[in-house]
Structure 1
Amino acid sequence: MSTQTPLSMALSQRQADERATPLTAFRMARRWWLEGRRLNLSQLAEELGIGRATLMRWVGNKDLLMGEILWSLYKGIYDQVIEKAKADHPERGIEFLGQIYDEVNLQLINAKPMHDFLASEPQWGLQLLTSNVSGLQKRLIDEWEALFQEEISAGRINPEMDANSLAYYIIRIGEGAVYCDLICGRTPEPERAGQAFRLLVNGHSR
């Protein structure tokens, strides 16, 4: 009499609905990163049960895959902070935007996975975060440009530069505040970044 059960059979072979997909590859890579593991595409492909060529076709390259992982962290923080700012400042305007900027920068400084990643791979990490090799920079600019454009169109802010340029410069300032310990050995100063943000966006600091 067979001792196999539906569970033992399911565990002994990969089921059709458990086959690796681009999304499962991303989820596994993201889990590794959150656990502090280095991202190795050959090991990832092996664990997924696929060829490295297949994985590369799915993710593009290591920079782009890491960009998706970093974006998932940023977007989670960003969306949560925006919802809180909407509740705190229903009138929107400069204080609404400033709260988002301050809180996002603060959470990034305190994000342990980000801190561990930059400590273990500072050169690669900074390249991913401060250039557009991973696509992250463009996504950040697009998000902030949309926010600024909405506030400008509603007449709630009146900056001296267009929304796209404004988004680019406030992101660069934020990078200097969040990653300055790695860039130039200075202690992160999110408060100073917040002051610069308000000067650029509305012509005065709080």
Structure 2
Amino acid sequence: MATTHSPLQKELQKTRKRSSGSTPADAFNRARRTWLNGERLHLAELAEDLGIGRATLFRWVGNKDLLLGDILWSLYAPIRASVVASTPGTGVDFIVEVYRRITIELISAKPLRDFIKQDPEHALRVLTSSASTMHGRVVEANTVMIQDQIDKGHLEKPPMRVESLSYFMVRLAESCLYSDVIIGREPNVEEVEEACLAVKILLGGKP
């Protein structure tokens, strides 16, 4: 399975040393602080603050949506890692509980809710489409988790491709998390429980 990498990730992974000046890490950290402060992110201003040209910044981050995807992933990944590490059990029950805990935590995540309220249509594009890498990374993370449980003998191999199963799981979660943008209804825990039941059935568990 191909791993989703943004331009920024690729730049951060390079080992060559820069003698002086700003780095891709500087760009990411400053952009992240700006976003967390609830301020709009402007790449022209970011480039000026860093003392670099726009072309350099775009080479580092790709574009604004890809940079926002990196910022969102930097917040999501620790939440996911903590939930996976603290969730007991194996197989269907383990996967569903991880799915439940992450989704419920994201419903009340203030930076995420503020981002959505600031510009709903743009936020939805960044969070759920190929305009950024966020959606693809979550699908990959779920795929790895499911495949790990299969490899360990805790879960029967599903009748569909694991990647497809993961994709459907993520779309279900997104329909709960962003229902205020999609259908004008505030996200709620009851819908998360319905999504968890659907995931359990998809994984071969009993309703």
Instruction: Tell me how far 1:155 sits from its aligned partner.
Output: 2.8
Query: Aligned Cα RMSD in Å?
Result: 1.6
Instruction: Tell me how far 1:180 sits from its aligned partner.
Output: 0.8
In the other structure, the counterpart of 1:143 is 141
Structure 2 runs not aligned, ≥5 long: 1-17
Higher relative CO (CA 8 A, sep ≥ 6), structure 1 or 2? Answer: 2
Instruction: Tell me how far 1:17 sits from its aligned partner.
Output: 7.8
Instruction: Tell me how far 1:204 sits from its aligned partner.
Output: 2.4
Instruction: Tell me how far 1:60 sits from its aligned partner.
Output: 1.0
Deviations 1:128-151 (A, max 9, x none): 111111122221111111111111
Total equivalences in the alignment? 186
Amino acid at match of 2:85: E
Instruction: Tell me how far 1:33 sits from its aligned partner.
Output: 0.7
CA distance in 2, matches of 1:19, 1:80: 35
Helix, strand or coil: the match of 1:193? helix
In the TM superposition, 1:110-189 aligns within 5 A as 110-158=108-156, 159-188=158-187, 189=191
- % identical equivalent positions: 44
Aligned pair partner of 2:99 in 62, 84, 101: 101
Instruction: Tell me how far 1:18 sits from its aligned partner.
Output: 7.2
Helix, strand or coil: the match of 1:161? coil
Helix, strand or coil: the match of 2:180? helix
Instruction: Tell me how far 1:119 sits from its aligned partner.
Output: 0.2
CA distance in 2, matches of 1:203, 1:162: 17
Which range moves more in the overlay, 61-70 or 185-194?
A: 185-194
Structure 1 runs not aligned, ≥5 long: 1-15
CA distance in 1, matches of 2:141, 2:122: 24
Change over 3 Å in CA distance of 1:190–1:17 after alignment to 2: farther
Change over 3 Å in CA distance of 1:48–1:152 after alignment to 2: same
Helix, strand or coil: the match of 2:203? helix
In the other structure, the counterpart of 2:58 is 56
Q: TM-score, normalised by structure 1?
A: 0.85
Instruction: Tell me how far 1:195 sits from its aligned partner.
Output: 1.3
Deviations 1:62-85 (A, max 9, x none): 111111111111111111111111
Helix, strand or coil: the match of 1:202? coil
Which range moves more in the overlay, 183-192 or 68-77?
A: 183-192
Q: Which has the larger radius of gyration?
A: 1
Query: Runs ≥4 in structure 1, deviation > 6 angstroms?
Result: none
CA distance in 2, matches of 1:116, 1:54: 29
The answer to whether the 8 Å contact 2:92/2:205 transfers is no
CA distance in 1, matches of 2:200, 2:165: 11
In the other structure, the counterpart of 1:190 is 192
Q: TM-score, normalised by structure 2?
A: 0.85
